């Protein structure tokens, strides 16, 4: 039962990345006045905000696909699910860290909650080796 819940959670966590995709593409605002990923500490010196948003959007779709595939792999009891989920979690953390604007205000709007969830997923899967198939 917990495997099913965890698998569904992984898929849903992946789909949340599509919300940040929409924010990045300026399809909608997750919060009024939210400009994430504009001002990225890693990309702003090299790319315009428009190019940063395009790059971030593309990376977020890849993260969403990774989590969805990994979660479905867990639900179908494939042995490779954990590698895909851990890889997606690390990849997702990298996106949010690289797109951070360097300011500590409103961290929840900048993906902090997602980073913490990713760290929890990596801890559960790698260190506690949970759930086992």
Smallest CA-to-CA distance from 130 within 86, 72, 91 is with 86
Confirm whether 133 is domain-assigned. Answer: no
- Is-contact 53 38, C-beta < 8 A? yes
Confirm whether 57 is domain-assigned. Answer: yes
Containing structural domain, residue 82: 2-127
Q: What are the structure tokens assigned to 93, written together?
A: 């953390």
> Which pLDDT band, with edges at 50, 70 and 90, does 132 fall under?
confident
Confirm whether 74 is domain-assigned. Answer: yes
Q: What angle do CA 79, 85, 86 make, to 5 degrees?
A: 105
Confirm whether 11 is domain-assigned. Answer: yes
Enter the pTM of the model. 0.91
> Which pLDDT band, with edges at 50, 70 and 90, does 31 fall under?
confident
Residue appearing with tokens 């990994």? 70
Confirm whether 81 is domain-assigned. Answer: yes
Confirm whether 66 is domain-assigned. Answer: yes
The structural domain count of the chain equals 1
53-82, pLDDT tens digit by residue?
A: 999 999 999 999 999 999 999 999 999 999
Confirm whether 132 is domain-assigned. Answer: no
């Amino acid at each position: 039962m917990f495997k099913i819940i965890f698998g569904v959670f992984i898929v849903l966590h992946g789909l949340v990345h599509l919300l940040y995709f929409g924010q990045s593409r300026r399809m909608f605002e997750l919060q009024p006045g939210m400009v994430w990923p504009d001002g990225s500490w890693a990309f702003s010196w090299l790319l315009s905000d428009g190019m940063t948003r395009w790059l971030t959007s593309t990376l977020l779709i890849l993260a969403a696909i990774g989590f969805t595939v990994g979660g479905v792999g867990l639900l179908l009891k494939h042995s490779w699910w954990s590698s895909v989920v851990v890889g997606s979690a690390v990849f997702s953390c990298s996106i949010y860290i690289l797109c951070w604007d360097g300011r500590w205000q409103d961290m929840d709007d900048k993906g902090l909650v997602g980073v913490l969830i990713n760290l929890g997923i990596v801890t559960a899967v790698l260190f506690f080796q949970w759930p086992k198939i």
